[in-house]
Structure 1
Amino acid sequence: MQIHVVKSKIHRVTVTGADLNYIGSITIDEDLMEAANLIEGEKVQIVNINNGERFETYTIKGNRKSGEITLNGPAARRVQKGDVIIIIAYGILGIEEAKVFKPALVFPNEENNLLT
């Protein structure tokens, strides 16, 4: 049997933009993506703390050290600039592997930058 487990999480980042006229996705500062072990094009779940919305999209690399978190395309209708969100990616593992797996958890500061 295999189960879905949290692989990566960027906890409590602030939305810096919402671009309805873009094709789709979420643009994430590349430093945050690397710290969370996310790759470009990976499916992620977005949880909006401000309004309770939950939806899925895929990742696009943003500029390093920019703090960018921009929801693009239809997802832009589910957030507003300034909303606080959680970005989660899941993996599929066997039960024994899942018991010892450690996800990449990232807790950025209020400017969406990595804490040093």
Structure 2
Amino acid sequence: MQIQVLKSKLHCATVTEANLNYMGSITIDEDLMDAANLIAGEKVQIVNNNNGERFETYIIKGERGSGCICLNGAAARKVVVGDVVIIISYALMDFEEAKTFKPSVVFPKEGNRL
């Protein structure tokens, strides 16, 4: 049996930009991506702690060290700069493997720094 489990999480990152005129996605600082074991193109769920919105999109690699968390396209309507979001990815794995799997969970500091 395969189940879907938490793979990666950026917990309480701050939105730095919302770009309505860009074709979909979320741009994430590459340092944050590496720390949370995320890759470009990966599907993620975004949970907005400020307004309760939950939505899915995919990752675009942002400038390393920039602290960038930018919602693009339609997703930009679901956030305001300064909102606190949780960025979550899941993985499909065997039930037995899932019992011992350890997700990558990152708690960014002020400015979305590690």
TM over 0.5: yes
Which aligned runs of 4 or more in structure 1 are off by greater than 6 angstroms?
Answer: none
In structure 2, distance between residues paired with 1:41 and 1:93: 19
What displacement does 1:39 show?
0.5
1:110, CA displacement in angstroms? Answer: 1.5
> Within 5 Å, which residues of 2 pair with 1:1-116?
1-114=1-114
Paired residue secondary structure (1:50): coil
Structure 2 portions without partners, runs of 5+: none
What is the CA–CA distance in structure 2 between the aligned matches of 1:22 and 1:13, rounded to whole Å?
21
- Name the CA distance, whole Å, in 1 between partners of 2:30 and 2:91: 20
What percentage of aligned pairs have identical amino acids? 71
| Count of residues in Structure 1 that have an aligned counterpart in Structure 2 | 114
Q: CA-to-partner distance for each residue in 1:35-60, whole Å, 9 max, x for gaps? A: 11101000000000000000000000
C-alpha separation in 2, matches of 1:3 and 1:45? 17
Query: Over the residues paired in the alignment, what is the CA RMSD in angstroms?
Result: 0.4
**What TM-score, normalized by structure 1, do the two folds share?**
0.97
